[in-house]
Amino acid sequence: DGGITQSPKYLFRKEGQNVTLSCEQNLNHDAMYWYRQDPGQGLRLIYYSQIVNDFQKGDIAEGYSVSREKKESFPLTVTSAQKNPTAFYLCASSMGVPPDTQYFGPGTRLTVL
Amino acid sequence: RKEVEQDPGPFNVPEGATVAFNCTYSNSASQSFFWYRQDCRKEPKLLMSVYSSGNEDGRFTAQLNRASQYISLLIRDSKLSDSATYLCVVDNFGNEKLTFGTGTRLTIIP
């Protein structure tokens, strides 16, 4: 089955802790993206990567970090510097950069306690 | 003006009715347009791309009006399963990103 997987589905974190969200795809897509979604707001781009070992900041990169060591994997670390990390995090991939269609993983819901 | 703007709704529509949403965009150079569907607490899923000539997929019709910078989605003979939030997505020509609208919530009433 081809697709995008994210883990965990739900994540609870104490303030001051870093946490890493996993995103894996077996679609052979070059580009991968991380978005966050808050109630009543559109998806906001955190980071994206067009190719292995390269990534760019999106609109709200502060307090986040990523790596792209393999084509299939694009993990996101939410650091303690992110002031309001509670949100729904969505990973997406596409064959190439926009305007290629993006396909989403099932998301990780992060709650900071 | 927001880059992509949608009426948040909610639209409460009886089963079998026809419903239409519009979405306006600000970047006149945008080339690609999409409608995604998002169920509650789930990921967005592509519903359809929007082509210049308009396109239809079963009960769904999407149209693009470049002059007025809006896209539309028409749903005919609505089903209970059409209840969802519909996201308008537009490419941000020149900076390799897609911009997502905040979504229009649709509830089909039996």
Range ranked top by mean pLDDT from A82-86, B25-29, B56-60: B56-60
Nearest CA in chain A to B105: A40
**pLDDT for position B54:** 86
pLDDT at A2: 67
Assess whether pLDDT exceeds 80 at residue B9. Answer: yes
- Does position A1 have pLDDT exceeding 70, yes or no? no
**Average of per-residue pLDDT across B6-17:** 94
Tell me how close the Cα of A76 comes to any Cα of chain B, in angstroms.
17
Interval B38-70: pLDDT, tens: 999 999 999 999 988 889 999 999 999 999 999
Least confident of A10-19, A28-37, A91-100, B28-37: A91-100
Check residue B2 and give its pLDDT.
Answer: 78
Determine the average pLDDT of the residues in B63-89. Answer: 96
Distance from the A90 Cα atom to the nearest Cα atom in chain B, whole angstroms: 7
A102 touches chain B (CB under 8 A): yes
Residues 15-74 of A with CB under 8 A from B: 35, 40-43, 45, 48, 50, 58
CA distance A43 to A58: 11
Q: What percent of chain B has pLDDT over 70?
A: 97
Task: Report chain A's mean pLDDT, rounded to a whole number.
Answer: 93
Q: What is the pLDDT at residue A73?
A: 98
Judge contact between B33 and B89, C-beta under 8 A.
yes
Among candidates B31, B42, B101 on the partner chain, residue whose Cβ is nearest the Cβ of A99: B31
pLDDT band at B76 (very low <50, low <70, confident <90, very high): very high
Q: Which two tokens stand for residue A111?
A: 């709650």
Distance between CA atoms of B101 and B79, rounded to whole angstroms?
23
Q: Could A109 and B49 be called an inter-chain contact, meaning their C-beta atoms sit closer than 8 Å?
A: no
Instruction: Please tell me which of the candidates B41, B42, B100 has its beta carbon nearest to residue A43.
Output: B100
Question: How big is chain B, counted in residues?
Answer: 110
CB contact under 8 A, A104 and B32: no
**Do residue B32 and residue A98 have CB atoms under 8 angstroms apart?**
yes
Average pLDDT over residues A76-87: 93
* Of the candidate ranges A26-30, A68-72, A93-97, B21-25, the one whose mean pLDDT is the lowest: A93-97
- Give kind and range of the element (H or E) at residue A12: strand A10-13
Q: What is the pLDDT of residue A100?
A: 82
CA distance A41 to chain B (A): 5
User: Which letter, b or e, does each residue of B46-65 get, where b requires 16 or more Cβ atoms within 10 Å of its Cβ?
Assistant: ebbebeeeeeeeeebbbbbe
CA–CA gap between residue A49 and residue B45 (Å, rounded): 21
Among B residues 11-70, those touching chain A with beta carbons less than 8 Å apart: 31-32, 34, 41-46, 49
Q: How many angstroms separate the CA of residue A58 from the nearest CA in chain B?
A: 9
pLDDT of residue B96: 74
At B23 the pLDDT is 95
> Which residue of A lies nearest to B43 if distances are taken between CA atoms?
A106
Whether the upstream peptide bond of residue A99 has omega within 30° of 0, thus cis, is yes
How far apart CA A17 and CA A110 sit, in angstroms, is: 12
**Is A95 at the interface with chain B, CB within 8 A?**
no
In tens, the pLDDT along A17-60 reads 999 999 999 999 999 999 999 987 889 999 999 999 999 999 99
